[in-house]
Structures are given as structure tokens and as C-alpha cells.
Amino acid sequence: MTMQADFVIIGSGSAGSALASRLSEDGRHSVIVIEYGGSDFGPFIKMPAALSYPMNMGIYDWGYTSEPEPHLGNRRLAAPRGKVIGGSSSINGMVYVRGHAEDYNHWAEQGAQGWSFADVLPYFKRMETSHQNGHIGGEPGWRGTDGPLHVQRGKAANPLFSAFIEAGRQAGFGVTPDYNGSRQEGFGLMEQTIHNGQRWSTAEAYLKPALKRPNLSLVKGLARRIVIENHRATGVEIEANGSIQVVQARREVVIAASAFNSPKLLLLSGIGPGADLAAHGIDVVADRPGVGANLQDHLEVYVQQASTQPITLNSKLNLFWKAWIGAQWLFLRKGLGTSNQFEAAAFVRSAAGVPYPDIQFHFLPGAIRYDGKAAAKGHGFQAHVGPMRSPSRGTVKLRSADAKAAPEIRFNYMSHEEDWRDFRHAVRLTREIFGQAAFDPYRGAEISPGAQVQSDAEMDAFIRDHAESAYHPCGTCRMGRADDLSAVVDPETRVIGVDGLRVADSSIFPRVTNGNLNGPSIMTGEKAADHILGRTPLAPSNLEPWMNPAWATTDRLA
């Protein structure tokens, strides 16, 4: 059986679903989306509070792990990616962060012309409907009002959320009314991709409505390689129902398969470092040394504090409460089940002279690991904290020429002294926040790292043993100038050296953005669609983001 369409997209995730919707919306082009994973139906994905389950379930997750990380005691760290309709937007933590304006200005400076903040802000606005305080919109001019991606704030009913925000104010960092608006810096309410009490993945926002169109179809199969004839991509070879088939692309193939699988597919197709390809017996189509290089991520640790009041989530972890919360959610779409529990956040600068935030906090009114394991005994609360712009870089390489083999993922975390200095500061800063008067009614003993951890050496040992990925991998098919030998795609997302082939997902980020990557990945799909269709990009914004006027002299407000 031969399937064909004008555009063939590999991956139904954050960028892929947005691409599928936009490329098919005017009805003039046929589109096929190839997805290896299955249905996203079921409470583990739909219920926001169940977020720790799908990323630990083989049916929904590729199950990748890093190679032993030499600077983290040779630990192998989990590296989940969605293997399901909606991709990683169906298994992530549902935290919505655009990133800082200067992140995108840096992209443009690094050769991604047309991707400055002024260029991307209109796409963030196009894609979202922002719900704030019962109203649609938010800061005038900055937020979207009629996009497919619904973004909300939690109720923040637990008093620990307001204590965290007030503690940030007391420590001198200030409060931001909307970190996705003009001002990221400060403490404030966190935003969530949740709508009507359930996870609002890109499958819900983009793909499922678009699949009602006759010109868009979904094909289940494992993408094995891109078919390339005379340096032009003409289709995708897939394995489906036990046989090898080719999905033909009359116009273009677009890879949107994640920061791990997108470079893997390019490598399997002969696009990448020539010596690495030859070592696996793969013919070189385009010698691009940047494929699989430049891997970046965010690391974080949990700073946990005992609570003297029994108001935390730790009391809700027994079977009775889980059943009650599940029933409330299932039948009424109400209660704790409707939130990911991350409802307060902060973005701060680590030092005077740092022009914009480089530390992120997620605050949780419970003391429990992200994956749902290892809850603290008794009551507690925690902040997930980590630096945003590590200089460390890793790689994604082929383990073998077998398309079913997992790639070799080496993050090379904490490979610079700067990483250790920044992490120590982030932990000590969290202690300072928890030490403010706002937490006086709730603060018990420190659970983790524990009061005994004080010296740099003790802090380093804690970080080495306990740092975990925040699951924000990117950068492995870096976007840059067409004459940049380390770039993989040009600023219109075209793979350099091969016609009819693009990559559009977090793998093309020149540098990781501030915060969680789901929002920037969706924006990438939105913007890439206009490039693919040859449309004039949306007009750049002339709004000016807030920058701390005292950034050169203090890490706080003036």
C-alpha cells in the first residue's frame, strides 16, 4: 500500500500537532501525520493530578535513559518522551512558560534570523487563549484571546502558595502579575495547559479538531528513515503492521519527533557527522556535524521542608484520598484532580550583572518526587529549583543502524565549574526564601538536603546524588545560518543540504529557553507552518518587555 500527501509530518507532539492543524486548515493541502504511539484516552493522561503516571508507563513513554553521567556519579537519568497521540504534551507536567524575551533575541543573534522575541510573540498570541481571574486575556497586548491552546491558573487555594509568593516579595525579588506577559522576573502564579478540569494537550487543542478535515489523516507506524532521492526528501519509510511501507510526500517531509528522535531519524537517513554514519554502515547524504550535537536540558533538585500544619498534599497520598480525588475528577471535573498542583512559580536572577532571570522555581505544597515516588513522611512542601542556562552540552548518537534501537543520549550534565557554583547558589537561595516570615506559621525542619548540608563539598555531594532532569531536552538539530557548518536547519526550518525536508520541534532551539519547553515547542510548530506554506510571517511586535532597571547592581529589585 502506498500512502501519499503533500506534507508528511513525523510526530504528533507539541510541534507536530500544531503543524498538522495549520498546514491543513485552508483545505488546499493534504497532510499525513505519522505517530508510533497509540491513543491518549484514559484517566492517567486526562487527569492533571495523575501527571506522575504516564511518564512512567511504557505504553505512553519511549523509556529512554541517559548514558552514565560522569559528573553525577555515573547515574543514568530518566529521559522520558511521549510515545502517544499528543507526544510529550500528553505526558508532561502541564506547566506553561513562554520563556524570556532575551532567549529569543539570543537565538536571532546566533543566526536564527526572524526568531527574535518581536518575531515570535505574535505566534505565542495566535496559539493561546489565556484565562486569568475568570476572564479571557490578561495583560493587554501580551496574551492571546482566541487560540486553540487554553492556558489557565490554578485556584492556589492552599495557603502555602501565597506564602511562597509573599516570601519572594519579602526577600526583595518582587512579584510579577504574569510571567508570560511583559515581566517574567519575580514570584507569581504558575500557568497550566489545563482546560475544563483536564489536560489540554496539543492533541486536544490542535490534532483532534483538525482530524475532522478530509485532507488530514493519521498513520500509525514507526518511522525508520527519510527516503531521499537526488538530495531531495520524497517520503518516509515506516514499519506498520509488520511490513515496511513508504509514505510519499509530494512537497515536503517535516520531522517533529523530539530532541532525541529527530536527530536519530536524520542520522538513520544519512544526514549527520560523516564519520559516525560510516561507522554504522550508513551512506552519507549530507555531512552535517551538528546533527545530534548541542544537546541541552534543565537540571533541578528538590528543596523540601517539613510543615508544622497538616495542610499539605502528603495527607492525600493514601488509597482513600486517591480514590476520592479520582471520583471527584471523573464525575464532576472538580477538586484536587483538576490541577497539576504546580500553582506558584518564580524566575529570579542569580547575581548582580545577570541581565535577566537564570533560576526557576516550581513550588509544590507537598514533599514528594516528580515521578510520584519517595514521599516524605509527615507533612511537607518543596521547591524544585535549578539554573536555566547551563554551559554544559551533550550529544544524541545512534546506538546502531537499527531504527528500533534507542539512541545514545549523553547530556554531560554539570561538566563546568559554573554549573556547580550556580546550583549551590540556587539551593541556598531556596533556603533563604523558605526562611522568610511568610513561612513562619508553617516551617518545620528541612527535610532535604537537610540542615547538616552546609559546605560547598556537602552541597556538591547532595547535587551529585539528587539532581534530576526537568525533562526539557532541546538543541540537537540547531537552527542557524545556512553557511554555519554546525547548524542543521536554516531559519525557515529547512534541513541544510537536503531539499524538501524540515525539522520543527525543540531540537532546533539554538539554546534552551527560560522555563518549561512545551510552549516554545508549540510556537515552533505554529511559526514553521507559515514558513512551509510560504506565507509572510506575522508582523513583528513592537512591545517592550520589562527588564529590571537595577540588574547591573543587584540580584533583587532596587
> What pLDDT does 379 receive?
93
Check: CB of residue 86 under 8 Å from CB of residue 12: yes
Please give the average per-residue pLDDT across 13-22, as a whole number: 98
> What pLDDT does 457 receive?
98
Residue 375: how many other CB atoms lie within 10 Å: 14
Distance separating alpha carbons of residues 388 and 402, to the nearest angstrom: 35
533 appears as a binding residue in the annotation:
no
> What pLDDT does 404 receive?
97
Q: What is the pLDDT of residues 234-246, one digit of tens each?
A: 999 999 999 999 9
272 appears as a binding residue in the annotation:
no
Distance separating alpha carbons of residues 526 and 18, to the nearest angstrom: 6
Dihedral over alpha carbons 135, 141, 142, 143 (to 10 degrees) = 40
22 appears as a binding residue in the annotation:
yes
463 appears as a binding residue in the annotation:
no
Residue range(s) of every CATH 3.50.50.60 domain in the chain: 1-98+200-290+473-535
Mean pLDDT of the chain: 96
8 appears as a binding residue in the annotation:
yes
Domain 1-98+200-290+473-535 in CATH 3.40.50.720? The answer is no
Query: Starting from the edge strand earliest in sequence, which strands make up the sheet with 128-132, in order?
Result: 135-136, 128-132, 149-153, 191-192
pLDDT above 80 for 376: no
423 appears as a binding residue in the annotation:
no
> What pLDDT does 371 receive?
64
512 appears as a binding residue in the annotation:
no
CATH architecture of 155-189+299-387+415-466: 2-Layer Sandwich (3.30)
Please give the average per-residue pLDDT across 350-366, as a whole number: 97
pLDDT above 90 for 526: yes
Task: Give, in order, the Cα–Cα distances in Å from 304 to each of 224, 349, 366.
Answer: 44, 21, 9
Residue range(s) of every CATH 3.30.410.40 domain in the chain: 155-189+299-387+415-466
Check: CB of residue 266 under 8 Å from CB of residue 258: no
**Mind telling me the catalytic residues?**
472
Burial annotation 171-206 (CB, 10 A radius, 16+ → b, else e):
bebbbbebbbbbbbbbbbbbbbbbbebbbbbbbbbb
User: Looking at residue 555, what DSSP letter applies?
Assistant: S
What is the Cα Rg of the chain in Å?
Answer: 23
Q: pLDDT > 70: what percent of the chain?
A: 99
Whether the predicted model's global pTM rises above the 0.85 cut? yes
14 appears as a binding residue in the annotation:
yes
311 appears as a binding residue in the annotation:
no
Distance separating alpha carbons of residues 480 and 58, to the nearest angstrom: 35
Please give the average per-residue pLDDT across 434-457, as a whole number: 97
Please give the average per-residue pLDDT across 232-259, as a whole number: 97
Packed helices 417-434 and 159-170: angle between N→C axes, nearest 10 degrees? 110
27 appears as a binding residue in the annotation:
yes
> What pLDDT does 370 receive?
62
18 appears as a binding residue in the annotation:
yes
33 appears as a binding residue in the annotation:
yes
Q: What is the pLDDT of residues 292-333, one digit of tens each?
A: 999 999 999 999 999 999 999 888 888 888 889 899 999 999
Q: What is the pLDDT of residues 157-191, one digit of tens each?
A: 999 999 999 999 999 999 999 999 999 999 999 99
425: burial class by Cβ within 10 Å (0-12, 13-18, 19+)? middle
> What pLDDT does 145 receive?
96
Question: What sections of 245-296 are H helices per DSSP?
Answer: 258-268, 274-279
pLDDT above 70 for 143: yes
